[in-house]
């Protein structure tokens, strides 16, 4: 039996493709779902782990432990070899969190396949780290180490936007130039690719990739900006201190960054924050901040912020319930505030798309299609800004959460097997 698979290890969601007779199929990783949130929950009581939706549910239900999300964003950072506390006196390396999650994906795939898997095509962003090729190479090396640690002996990488282009190509009837726009949780990647029936059976497609570019800016950056612009204002961010200057911002940036939230719960850091009381002209803000830190509410606030972002992006406004901080505390957030909060990030993403086309040497008006994939392309204000830059191209929307996995599966089938097309 074919012993290969393809894994889309995403910042927010992950997916697996397996060979199945004459096709590739996406694995039902959880009942009813072909994607799984990239999340691991470490139980403090017995050091056991839960993954995906179960991990998030157990965190929300108040189980004692540590929820780890956006773990892909750790690749390429200085944190990857550091340890983090997941329970009283229990520490794990961040890299081992990645290993644990990949091991879970592999085990699920092998259980459905009924046989071991030792070959894999792994997706990777165009850049794990912007403008730093050494750290970018280290990020890929860390991910390869994790893949080999779980038992894959043959590991091949494919750029995520290229995988999405392969998925788009399966629907084309003539040669086209497509700009793949893959905006996920951690990165925004772009590739201008020549696709068509006369190209799709070729394994080596390097000559069809006219340009690739990307930035380490995406959905989690939107979440950070939204939290700073909304929830964290209620905790004192951007307020004036007793001396007329703004209160120190570093704490709020850490509180808005998922993988740094836990650093605020360190006893030394908590004591430092207590001593900052006199920085605040209004001690109410300091009191709210200390409640969040001492009761470890940071991840709860991050989750409520993400929910608010999605609700507002669909139109209208939403009410963020902050009763966990203070009875009756509610923050109103609307689309205008959302667009203002993330304007810097949107400009950077749009600039990266235009730079991709510039690098290709192709005129903007020659692009036939924009292929949107990745969870954050569901944000209307972002996709509208990108579409406006390419008025001659039609917009095509793939499966925001599965297009990359499907394309990776197609590449894996051509590389390792003799399967001609995905399911």
- What is the C-alpha separation between 207 and 210, in angstroms, rounded? 7
Does the structure show a pLDDT above 50 at 108? Answer: yes
Q: Given a cut of 90, is residue 69 above it in pLDDT?
A: no
Mean pLDDT of 217-241: 94
**Taking all residues of the chain, what is their mean pLDDT, rounded to a whole number?**
91
Give the pLDDT confidence score for residue 407 in this predicted structure: 92
* Sign of the torsion formed by the C-alpha atoms of 360, 361, 363 and 364: positive
How confident is the model over 33-43, as pLDDT tens digits? 999 999 999 99
- Mean pLDDT over 307-323 rounds to 89
Per-residue model confidence as pLDDT tens digits over 281-297: 999 999 999 999 999 89
Q: Does the structure show a pLDDT above 50 at 225?
A: yes
How many CA atoms, within 13 angstroms, populate the side-chain half-sphere of residue 271? 3
Give the integer Cα–Cα distance in Å for 247 and 314. Answer: 33
Q: What confidence score (pLDDT) does residue 356 get? A: 96
- The whole-number pLDDT of residue 43 equals 92
Of all residues in the chain, what percent carry a pLDDT higher than 70? 98
Confidence band for 420, pLDDT divided at 50, 70 and 90: very low
**pLDDT level of residue 275 (50, 70, 90 thresholds):** very high
Rounded CA-CA distance 149/153 in Å is 9
* pLDDT for 64: 84
- Angle, to 10 degrees, between the axis of helix 403-416 and the axis of helix 160-169? 90
Strand-strand pairing, 176-183 and 369-373: parallel
Task: Give the pLDDT confidence score for residue 2 in this predicted structure.
Answer: 72
Q: Give the global pTM.
A: 0.80
pLDDT class for 199, splitting at 50, 70, 90?
confident
């Amino acid at each position: 039996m074919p012993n290969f698979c393809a894994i889309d290890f995403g910042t927010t969601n992950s997916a697996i493709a397996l060979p199945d007779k004459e096709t590739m199929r996406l694995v039902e990783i959880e009942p009813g779902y072909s994607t799984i949130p990239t999340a691991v929950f470490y139980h403090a009581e017995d050091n056991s782990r839960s993954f995906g939706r179960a991990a998030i549910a157990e965190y929300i239900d108040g189980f004692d432990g540590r929820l780890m999300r956006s773990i892909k964003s750790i690749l390429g950072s200085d944190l990857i070899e550091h340890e983090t506390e997941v329970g009283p006196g229990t520490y794990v390396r961040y890299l081992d969190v990645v290993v644990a999650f990949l091991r879970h994906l592999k085990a699920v795939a092998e259980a459905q396949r009924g046989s071991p898997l030792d070959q894999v095509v792994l997706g990777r962003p165009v850049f794990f780290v912007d403008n730093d090729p050494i750290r970018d190479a280290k990020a890929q090396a860390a991910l390869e180490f994790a893949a080999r640690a779980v038992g894959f002996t043959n590991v091949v990488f494919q750029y995520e936007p290229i995988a999405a282009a392969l998925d788009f190509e399966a629907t084309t009837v003539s040669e086209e130039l497509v700009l793949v726009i893959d905006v996920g949780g951690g990165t925004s990647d772009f590739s201008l690719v020549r696709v068509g029936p006369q190209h799709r059976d070729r394994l080596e497609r390097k000559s069809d990739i006219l340009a690739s570019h990307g930035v380490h800016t995406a959905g989690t950056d939107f979440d950070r900006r939204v939290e700073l612009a909304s929830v964290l204002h209620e905790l004192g961010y951007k307020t004036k201190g007793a001396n007329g200057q703004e209160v120190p911002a570093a704490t709020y940036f850490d509180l808005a960054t998922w993988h740094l939230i836990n650093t605020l719960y360190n006893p030394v850091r908590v004591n430092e924050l207590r001593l900052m009381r006199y920085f605040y002209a209004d001690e109410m803000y300091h009191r709210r901040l200390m409640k969040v830190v001492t009761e470890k509410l940071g991840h709860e606030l991050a989750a409520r912020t993400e929910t608010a972002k999605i609700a507002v992006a669909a139109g209208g406004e939403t009410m963020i319930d902050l009763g966990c901080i203070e009875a009756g505390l509610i923050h109103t957030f609307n689309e205008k505030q959302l667009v203002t909060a993330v304007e810097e990030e949107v400009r950077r993403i749009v600039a990266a798309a235009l730079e991709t086309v510039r690098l290709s040497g192709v005129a903007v008006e020659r692009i036939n299609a924009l292929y949107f994939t990745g969870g954050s392309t569901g944000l209307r204000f972002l996709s509208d800004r990108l579409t406006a830059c390419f008025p001659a191209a039609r917009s095509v929307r793939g499966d925001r959460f599965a297009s990359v996995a499907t394309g990776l599966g197609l590449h894996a089938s051509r590389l390792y097997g003799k399967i001609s097309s995905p399911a």
